[in-house]
């Protein structure tokens, strides 16, 4: 499943639609705009960046989120989209689920 998300991520970035890797770049952009980072933290998040089985409400949220992913559905086609969605939700339902990502939290100020 990972190559599907990587391929889609590159397509979105290359078309200047969305950059899924922005968390690693945001500090540079803030600095280049003349802002000073006063606080920075990598956070776990119960919906985005967590380990173990997701709560049922989180799985329902992801199910609804997938239904709003029109561009991703278009990119994959309906059959592959449904397959990826099922696999993704199954992963979230697994006790052995692990996430290697985090939510970037930054507070920046004008000097």
d(CA 5, CA 87): 12
Q: Where does residue 83 rank: exposed (0-12), middle (13-18), buried (19+ CB within 10 A)?
A: middle
Nearest to 98 by CA among 37, 53, 41: 53
pTM of the model: 0.79
What's the confidence (pLDDT) of residue 28?
A: 93
pLDDT band at 1, cuts 50/70/90?
low
In contact, 68 and 75? CB cutoff 8 Å:
no
β-pair partners for 42: 104
- Per-residue pLDDT of 59-98, as tens digits, reads 999 999 999 999 999 999 999 999 999 999 999 999 999 9
């Amino acid at each position: 499943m990972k190559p599907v998300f990587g391929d889609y991520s590159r397509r979105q970035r290359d078309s200047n639609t969305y950059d899924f890797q922005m968390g690693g770049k945001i500090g540079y952009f803030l600095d280049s705009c003349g802002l000073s980072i006063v606080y920075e933290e990598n956070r776990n998040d119960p919906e985005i960046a967590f380990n173990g089985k997701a709560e049922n409400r989180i799985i329902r949220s992801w199910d609804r989120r997938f239904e709003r992913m029109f561009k991703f559905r278009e990119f994959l086609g309906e059959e592959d989209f449904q397959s990826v969605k099922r696999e993704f939700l199954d992963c979230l339902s697994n006790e052995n689920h692990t996430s290697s990502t985090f939510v970037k939290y930054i507070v920046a100020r004008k000097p």
